[in-house]
């Protein structure tokens, strides 16, 4: 996995969530610290920060559904330790300005690539641009390692060792070559608190088999399907923004998001999407645009009686009801997603276009 991505090191994990938790913890982020992340993502992109004992600070996105670099700097304070970037739907975030901000304030950059296998930013694959990249191999991602699985990549050897220790009960993995031999000689071999986030051999074998066809079948088919949809719909009067896919930001196409002109629709986006689905075409709206509205954040429902880490005495008292990511709200009312799964053929994409045009004709003003 490291070789395929062009990274020096990789660590496998039980799933993408544990990969994110491991990455945050390995960076030394903990109680009293804060990490900036987008509000528009799957909940694990922020829960991993809470799991490490730190607090997420939510930033808005731009029209590409990825972190808006212009909204990051105002959120930085003396507690900020990292920026967590999500390449949502396979869309590659605009990394240069984000990396520039991180360098200015000495912040780590974590890339959440759960939905972005093989995305490319200016010649580098996603996951290799920041300090550490995290991937999910669950059943719905680009490929799966048997239902669940995850991985971390990095070029930092020290960070790699920390990840290996954290996902393996905190064992001093750098010193031990064979666990059973070491346990026979030493009583105490745990250097830090850790978890059991190890991938199984069977999962790893499935992943290696999937990796063999990632460049020959999976990604080529996804790109073929997605680009057919983009070419067919980008000029439609209802489409404001097709997915970002440029030479500098090469899309990995987990999904294919289109931003529509809501002012030209007679009905809300959910009804429009439901009508396309009624034509027998798999289609979806947005995924979790404002996660700070989740009850866990509104009620500050953390761990135990103290609701840790929200009420940790070292932490800033963040009122999550005050967050207002307007672009995420704007996208929620305008975004629909098609699926470019590699098992689909062009004839299936033609059905998607046909259904879109039929429903658009019925519901456009």
Q: How far apart are CA 86 and CA 119, in angstroms?
A: 12
Same domain for 157 and 17: yes
Q: Which of 119, 141, 109 is nearest to 65 (CA)?
A: 119
Strands 335-338 and 256-260, bridge-based pairing: antiparallel
Q: Is residue 23 part of a domain?
A: yes
Question: What is the rounded CA–CA span in Å between residue 149 and residue 39?
Answer: 24
Domain assignment present for 147: yes
Residue 50: phi and psi, rounded to 5, are -60, -40
Shared-domain flag, residues 218 and 344: yes
pLDDT of residue 188: 74
Q: Is 200 in the same domain as 256?
A: no
pLDDT score of 176: 64
Q: Is the preceding peptide bond at 336 cis, omega within 30 degrees of 0? A: no
Mean residue pLDDT across the chain? 97
* Side-chain-facing half-sphere of 276: CA atoms under 13 Å: 25
* Closest of 86, 60, 84, 83 to residue 71, by C-alpha: 60
In a domain, 71, yes or no: yes
pLDDT in tens, 283-293: 999 989 999 99
Q: Which residue is associated with the tokens 């759960």?
A: 114
Same domain, 100 and 231: no
122 and 143 both lie in a single domain:
yes
Has residue 322 been placed in a domain? no
Side-by-side strand order, sheet with 239-241: 239-241, 256-260, 335-338, 283-284
Are 15 and 138 contained in the same domain? yes
pTM exceeds 0.95, yes or no: yes
CATH of the domain at 74: 3.40.640.10
The answer to whether residues 66 and 187 belong to one domain is yes
The distance from CA 61 to its chain's CA centroid, rounded to whole angstroms, is: 13
Total structural domains within the chain = 2
Lowest mean pLDDT among 89-103, 133-147, 168-182, 197-211: 168-182
Return the CATH number at 233: 3.90.1150.10
Q: Do 207 and 219 share a domain, yes or no?
A: no
Q: Kindly state whether residues 184 and 271 are assigned to the same domain.
A: no
Position 320 in a domain = no
Domain that holds residue 269: 214-287+327-363
Give the C-alpha separation, 88 to 113, whole Å: 8
Say if residue 126 is in the same domain as residue 238. no
Q: Are 194 and 167 in contact (CB under 8 A)?
A: yes
Residues 95 and 62 in one domain: yes
| pLDDT level of residue 191 (50, 70, 90 thresholds) | confident
Cα distance from N-terminal residue to C-terminal residue, the chain: 49
Q: Are residues 137 and 248 in the same domain?
A: no
């Amino acid at each position: 996995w490291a070789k395929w991505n062009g990274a020096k090191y990789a660590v496998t994990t039980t799933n993408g969530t544990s990969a994110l938790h491991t990455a945050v913890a390995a960076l030394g982020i903990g109680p009293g610290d804060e990490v900036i992340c987008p509000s528009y993502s799957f909940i694990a992109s922020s829960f991993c920060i809470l799991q490490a004992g730190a607090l997420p600070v939510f930033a808005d996105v731009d029209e590409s559904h990825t972190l808006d670099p212009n909204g990051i700097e105002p959120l930085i304070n003396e507690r900020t330790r990292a920026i967590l970037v999500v390449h949502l739907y396979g869309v590659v975030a605009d990394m240069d300005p984000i990396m520039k901000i991180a360098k200015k304030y000495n912040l780590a950059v974590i890339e959440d690539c759960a939905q972005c296998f093989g995305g490319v930013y200016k010649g580098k694959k996603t996951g290799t641009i920041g300090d550490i990249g995290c991937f999910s191999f669950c059943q719905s991602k680009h490929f799966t390692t048997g239902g669940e699985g995850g991985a971390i990549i990095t070029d930092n050897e020290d960070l790699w060792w920390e990840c290996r220790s954290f996902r393996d009960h905190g064992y001093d993995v750098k010193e031990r070559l064979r666990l059973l031999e070491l346990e026979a000689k030493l009583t105490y071999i745990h250097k830090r608190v850790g978890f059991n986030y190890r991938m199984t051999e069977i999962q790893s074998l499935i992943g290696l088999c999937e990796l063999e066809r990632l460049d020959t079948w999976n990604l080529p088919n996804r790109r073929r399907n997605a680009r057919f949809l983009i070419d067919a719909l980008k000029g439609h009067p209802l489409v404001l923004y097709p997915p970002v896919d440029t030479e500098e930001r090469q899309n990995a196409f987990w999904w294919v998001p289109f931003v529509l002109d809501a002012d030209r629709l007679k009905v809300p986006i959910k009804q429009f999407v439901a009508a396309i689905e009624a034509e027998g075409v798999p289609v979806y709206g947005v995924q979790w645009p404002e996660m700070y509205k989740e009850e866990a954040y509104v009620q500050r429902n953390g761990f135990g009686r103290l609701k840790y880490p929200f009420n940790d005495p070292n932490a800033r008292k963040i009122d999550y009801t005050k967050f207002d990511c307007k672009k995420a709200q704007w996208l929620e009312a305008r975004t629909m997603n098609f699926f470019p799964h590699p098992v689909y053929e062009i004839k299936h994409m033609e059905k998607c276009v046909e259904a879109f045009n039929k429903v658009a004709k019925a519901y456009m003003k």
